[in-house]
Amino acid sequence: MSDLPPSNSDLQAAAWRNVRADFPVLHQQVNGKPLVYLDNGATSQKPRAVIDALVRYYERDNSNVHRGLHTLSMRATDAYEGARTRLARFINAADPAEILFTRGTTESINLVARSWGHAHLKPGDVVLTTEFEHHSNLVPWQQAAKAAGATLKYVPLLGADGEGGLDLAALDTLLTPQVKLFAFTHISNTLGTINPVAELCRRARAVGAVTVIDAAQSIGHVPLDVQQIGCDFLAFSGHKMCGPTGIGVLYGRRALLDKLAPDETGGGMVVQVTYEGATWKPAPERFEAGTPNVADAIALGAACDYLDALGREQIAAHDDRLVRVAMEKLSALPGIRIIGPRAGAERSGLVSFAFEGVHAHDVVTFADEDGIALRGGHHCNQPLMRKLGLTSTTRASFYLYNTEAEIDRLVASLARIQKFFAG
């Protein structure tokens, strides 16, 4: 089987042929072996086009935005606002003003939890989330509910190994008119489960609840259209989609953003300031106090171009093929318990497993000796781990530059680990 996904144009096919050459970091030895990078769920690698965009900005255009009338400032402003428009197109937002630049998913969710939570939550209200949220889409809601005297409830996860996905029958019972907000992940970073996000938004809307989607694991992996999904807010990080660290997005529906008070105040987001008070600009400036992360926003725009040249349908198909191969080969190894949806079900390009008698940290350390980067631990999912009766798992997460040959390297390494601990 070819390692290249089917393409729908010659240009796209050419982009895929050179894909590994685009990532400088992949071409190195780790512990004397060619690097196999399978920790994409934590962060993705960066293509030359993104690195070049950063360097180009600092070498030619670096200046502060919005406030200067000189050439460099105008160039920087155009590029920064151009990146906003590019991000809007990437997720099909109706208006670039719906794109707020943040530090990443965590900051985006905190912004909603604090600003929206403070304005709208009151005692007796319910915030709904799920049993398999990353801490970044869980702790902010615990804090917001606590501050307002509201209750936090969880949609249960089905299956002893979390293989059944969300309990949609329980969701019907839980979605009462008391629910003011429903926050859920698009793709689980531990289980790989792909949630039916459009359906969840539709059900939440029926009871008047605002929806917040954690798209940290889906952005850059699957086609994503906020208007088709019908969400109110959606959060993601640039570093998981071939972009730089320190930049991310909060998408918010314009009608909601216009009514929302800022979480942070200061320069750049005000219309008029007196000794007595201040008035706010509209979105997006209202939510971007201080000098924004100009360089990384521009490079994130370059990441969007890079991913769209490959095609997100094709990236999703590539991830899917790799995860199916990995699950088949890992299942054949004794002592490995794969958690999350079974092969063939709605699963993204990652696989988490428990290794009988071997701690996940040992698996990761041994695999590193073979030049393979994995992740082991609770994956910022402590309550989920407890629910599944686990303390940790090992996770292999794939992306557009991974190959079947790399999966064979992983399987060989796991077999070596097994032999070592058995004997």
| Interaction between residue 40 and ligand PMP (CB under 6 A) | no
Binding string to ligand PMP for residues 374 to 393, with x set by CB under 6 A, is what? ------x-------------
Nearest approach in angstroms of CB 347 to ligand PMP is: 15
Considering the complex, state which of residue 71 and residue 382 has its C-beta at the smaller distance from ligand PMP: 382
Alpha-carbon span 400 to 358, nearest angstrom: 29
48 within 8 A of 27, measured Cβ to Cβ: no
Considering the complex, state which of residue 303 and residue 358 has its C-beta at the smaller distance from ligand PMP: 303
| Interaction between residue 195 and ligand PMP (CB under 6 A) | no
| Interaction between residue 214 and ligand PMP (CB under 6 A) | yes
Binding string to ligand PMP for residues 167 to 186, with x set by CB under 6 A, is what? ------------------x-
Considering the complex, state which of residue 237 and residue 393 has its C-beta at the smaller distance from ligand PMP: 237
| Interaction between residue 193 and ligand PMP (CB under 6 A) | no
| Interaction between residue 137 and ligand PMP (CB under 6 A) | yes
Per CB under 6 A, the segment of 100-108, 115-123, 193-201, 310-318 that binds ligand PMP is: 100-108
Total binding residues toward ligand PMP, as defined by CB under 6 A: 13
Considering the complex, state which of residue 237 and residue 418 has its C-beta at the smaller distance from ligand PMP: 237
Per CB under 6 A, the segment of 70-78, 214-222, 326-334, 387-395 that binds ligand PMP is: 214-222
**Antiparallel, parallel or unpaired: β 336-339 and 350-355:** antiparallel
Kindly report the backbone phi and psi dihedral angles of residue 102, in degrees, each rounded to the nearest multiple of 5, phi listed first: -135, -175
Write out the two tokens for 166.
């969300």
Per CB under 6 A, the segment of 53-61, 210-218, 219-227, 413-421 that binds ligand PMP is: 210-218
Considering the complex, state which of residue 237 and residue 413 has its C-beta at the smaller distance from ligand PMP: 237
Of 44, 45, 77, 106, the one binding ligand PMP (CB under 6 A) is: 106
Strands of the sheet with 210-214, listed across from one edge: 99-102, 248-252, 233-237, 210-214, 179-185, 126-130, 151-155
Beta bridge pairs of residue 249: 101, 236
221 within 8 A of 5, measured Cβ to Cβ: no
Sign of CA dihedral 188, 353, 1, 403: positive
Considering the complex, state which of residue 189 and residue 314 has its C-beta at the smaller distance from ligand PMP: 189
Binding string to ligand PMP for residues 238 to 277, with x set by CB under 6 A, is what? ----------------------------------------
Of 112, 194, 216, 351, the one binding ligand PMP (CB under 6 A) is: 216
Alpha-carbon span 329 to 308, nearest angstrom: 31
Amino acid at site 106? T
Write out the two tokens for 168.
């949609």
Alpha-carbon span 338 to 330, nearest angstrom: 8
* DSSP letter for each residue of 239-291: GGTTS-TT-EEEEE-HHHHTTPPPSS-STTSEEEE-SS-EEE--TTGGG--SS
* DSSP letter for each residue of 335-389: TEEEESSPTTSSB-SEEEEEETTB-HHHHHHHHHHTTEE-EEE-TT-HHHHHHHT
Question: Catalytic residue at 380?
Answer: yes
Applying CB under 6 A, the residues found at the interface with ligand PMP are: 104-106, 134, 136-137, 185, 189, 214, 216-217, 237, 380
**What residues are annotated to the active site?**
380
